């Protein structure tokens, strides 16, 4: 994997619209150190199918419709497009010079995200979203755990059954297996 070794995930069912984008941006900025250490993706789980694969591929081998775009771009084309975007251009140097970019996709090869830059449009959260898939990618295991636990705790009060989240089985490339989130007491 290039620069983001860890991926932790969770799922939850929501009782209504949740859009805590402000909190997600704050986590990106603070714990994630402007996405250099941690990035967060949230997705409409009903539009995608597990198992989900976290991989690294050459930029020209990655093609998808990015969030709020209308056509498909390669990862290289997206980097060019977002080099003029006032919000996203600051994050491009995190992966720009890597020979491979991180990518998360589902069993049907639908791209969820190209962390830490942009999510795919296919799985974007809408007002009608009932089930959410949360993915955290990170360079550090502790930050991945802390960020996932924090965002899951924030979202859980909006769950159909309050304070209930679904764990996700994660298997790393070396065979290590984990169930996330851990939500351990301190």
Say if 34 falls within a structural domain: yes
Amino acid 2: pLDDT:
52
Give the confidence band of 65 by pLDDT, cuts at 50, 70, 90.
Answer: very high
Domain, as residue range, for 73: 6-180
Residue 140 lies in a domain: yes
Q: What is the mean pLDDT of residues 81-94?
A: 94
Per-residue confidence band for 30, with pLDDT thresholds at 50, 70 and 90: low
Question: In the structure encoding, which two tokens stand for residue 117, read together?
Answer: 């830059």
Q: What CATH number is associated with residue 132?
A: 3.50.40.10
**13 inside domain:** yes
Asked whether residue 171 is domain-assigned, the answer is yes
pLDDT: which is higher, 126 or 3: 126
Q: Does any domain span residue 1?
A: no
In this prediction, residue 22 carries a pLDDT of 45
Number of domains in the chain: 1
* Average pLDDT of the residues of the chain: 87
Residue 116 included in any domain: yes
**What's the CA gap between 51 and 35, in Å, rounded?**
25
Residue 7 to residue 138: CA distance in whole angstroms? 6
Residue 46 has pLDDT above 70, yes or no: yes
Mean pLDDT of 29-41: 74
Residue 177 has pLDDT above 90, yes or no: yes
- Say what the pLDDT of residue 18 is: 56
C-alpha to C-alpha distance for 111 and 52, rounded to whole angstroms: 10
Closest CA to 7 of 185, 174, 106, 145: 145
0.85 exceeded by pTM:
yes
Q: Looking at residue 1, what is its pLDDT? A: 42
Average pLDDT score over residue span 30-58: 87
Q: Is residue 185 part of a domain?
A: no
Is the predicted pLDDT of residue 21 greater than 60, yes or no? no
């Amino acid at each position: 994997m290039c620069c983001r070794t860890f991926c932790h995930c969770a799922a939850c069912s929501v009782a209504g619209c949740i859009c805590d984008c402000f909190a997600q941006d704050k986590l990106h900025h603070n714990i994630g150190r402007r996405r250099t250490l941690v990035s967060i993706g949230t997705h409409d789980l009903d539009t995608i199918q597990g198992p989900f694969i976290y991989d690294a591929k050459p930029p020209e081998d990655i093609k998808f419709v990015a969030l709020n775009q209308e056509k498909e771009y390669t990862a290289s084309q997206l980097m060019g497009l977002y080099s003029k975007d006032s919000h996203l251009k600051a994050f491009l140097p995190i992966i720009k010079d890597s020979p491979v970019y991180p990518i998360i996709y589902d069993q049907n090869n639908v791209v969820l995200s190209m962390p830490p830059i942009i999510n795919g449009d296919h799985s974007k959260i809408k007002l009608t979203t009932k089930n959410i898939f949360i993915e955290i990618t990170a360079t550090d295991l502790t930050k991945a755990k802390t960020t996932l636990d924090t965002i899951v705790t924030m979202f859980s009060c909006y769950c159909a059954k309050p304070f209930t989240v679904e764990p996700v089985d994660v298997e790393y490339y070396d065979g290590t297996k984990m169930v996330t989130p851990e939500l351990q007491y301190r």
